[in-house]
């Protein structure tokens, strides 16, 4: 199974500041057929199901604010929130869909400093 490791486990960021979450996979998730990375990012708020933010490592899902962006390739990926808003307080997960079983990182909790 592909192991996904996120860092940090938690971070506190001031409102309006940048938040950066890292995600590392135990093997490359680059899909050679379309040269895209099989990596997604989710946001989960308390009492809610996860919400898809990003897929193909950098494609923003419809309706997701442009302050959320994904980058990286191969085994190392980053989710950036360019200007943290109060409503962004949540746990964020990355997920690989290159090779089943699809696996998730352990989550990163984002709070307001």
Partner 1 sequence: QVQLVQSGAEVRKPGSSVKFSCKASGGTFGGFQINWVRQAPGQGLEWMGGISPIFGTANYAQKFQGRVTITADKSTTTLEVSSLRSDDTALYYCAREVGPHVPAFASWGQGTLVTVSS
Chain residues that interact with partner 1, rule: CB under 8 A:
40, 42, 49-52, 55-56, 61, 93, 95, 97, 100-107
Phi-psi domain of 63 (left: phi exceeds 0; alpha: psi -120 through 50; beta: other): left
Residue closer to partner 1 (CB basis): 71 or 113? 71
What tokens appear for 28 in the block?
């490359």
Residue closer to partner 1 (CB basis): 7 or 83? 7
- CB of residue 19 to partner 1, shortest distance in Å: 19
Tell me the DSSP string of 52-73: EEEETTTEEPTT--TTEEEEEE
- CB of residue 67 to partner 1, shortest distance in Å: 20
Percent of residues in the chain assigned helix, strand, coil, to nearest 5: 5, 50, 45
- CB of residue 108 to partner 1, shortest distance in Å: 11
Residue closer to partner 1 (CB basis): 48 or 113? 48
């Amino acid at each position: 199974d592909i192991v996904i490791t996120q860092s940090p486990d938690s971070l506190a960021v001031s409102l309006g500041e940048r938040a950066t979450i890292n995600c590392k996979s135990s093997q490359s998730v680059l899909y050679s057929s379309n040269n895209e990375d099989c990596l997604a990012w989710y946001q989960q708020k308390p009492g809610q199901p996860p919400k898809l933010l990003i897929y193909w490592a950098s494609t923003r899902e419809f309706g997701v604010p442009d302050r959320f962006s994904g980058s990286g390739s191969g085994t190392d990926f980053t989710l950036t929130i360019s200007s943290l808003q109060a409503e962004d307080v949540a746990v964020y997960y990355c997920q690989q869909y290159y090779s089943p079983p699809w696996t998730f990182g352990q989550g990163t909790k984002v709070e307001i400093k």
